[in-house]
Amino acid sequence: MTFSIAVSHGDAVGVAVASKFIAVGAIVPEVRIGVGAVATQASAKVSYRADVLALLAGGLDAESAVSRVTAADAGRENRQLGVATSTGAATYTGSECSDWAGGMAGGDDTVGHYAIQGNILTGADVVHAMEVAFVQTVGMPLDRRLLAALLAGDAAGGDSRGRQGAALVVHAPGAGYDAGGILVDLRIDDHPQAPQELARLLDLHDLYFGEPQDVQPLTGELADEVTRRLAALGHTGDDVDAALESWSGVENYEMLLVPGGIDARVLEALRAATPDVA
């Protein structure tokens, strides 16, 4: 009922998952910087997440950790598990998982180490498409690579029952809103096009929390235009920077503020919000 990819690449760890299952992001993924990434699914055993991470932190490799937790589990034949660390990856599919069920693990330091797995899929081509997409996107940020893999699996058929939930979680040292390590943690709990909705949210996440892009200087005619548009929205100040800061605080664009300039996406959003102002 689920397809996922767990990855460790450099200092970053992440999981992407989609399923015809409500709030799948609350069940499947778990990551820990410096330790690894885990995806538990099929008849998911949520305790696998903490158990595997504890074993990895204690020095076991991915394959040994998977073998240890599944050997001790009487329900293992109904489960799937994917684990990735900085040194390797492993995937497990129990013999009683519903068709199509299977997975693959691979990678290296350049590509990243990955475990891909799925059950109740339209076929093996789902996990193969995910692998191809992940490998071919080397050089992109890990969150984008995981999303590319998830969308490729969905396009190849995905969960044979349809779509409902999806999630993407990536941690990396110093990443995130407060530099606390959470680069992305997004969940679609219930949506008929969950993978595509996840992609939309990641675009918004990049807009609100990413780095400024294509910054134009706020001088001359552009400064006059921005001032007029901000005033039309009720935001004025001692100068255009102050007015822009006021509006950006309302719209959550403050991470994209640049003194004396304006991010191209912020300018686009400002123009869209004031279509009647020239």
Give the model confidence (pLDDT) of 2-28 as tens digits: 999 999 999 999 999 999 999 999 999
| DSSP label at residue 98 | P
Consecutive H or E run containing 14:
strand 12-19
Nearest Cα to Cα of residue 253 among 210, 202, 201, 199: 210
What local confidence, expressed as pLDDT, does residue 237 receive? 81
Q: How confident is the model at residue 204 (pLDDT cuts 50, 70, 90)?
A: very high
Whether residue 211 is predicted with pLDDT greater than 90 in this model: the reply is: no
Place of tokens 């093996």: 124
* 85-126 confidence digits (pLDDT tens): 999 999 999 999 999 999 999 999 999 999 999 999 999 999
Contact 262, 244 (CB under 8 A): yes
Sequence spans of domains, the chain: 2-192, 216-273
| Residue 210 pLDDT grade (very low, low, confident, very high; cuts 50, 70, 90) | confident
Q: How does pLDDT run across 126-142, given as a tens digit for each residue?
A: 999 999 999 999 999 99
pLDDT digits (tens, 9 = 90+) for 248-261: 999 999 999 999 99
The answer as to CATH 3.60.20.10 being correct for domain 2-192 is yes
Cβ-in-10-Å burial (0-12, 13-18, 19+) of 179 comes to exposed
Per-residue pLDDT at 225 exceeds 90: yes
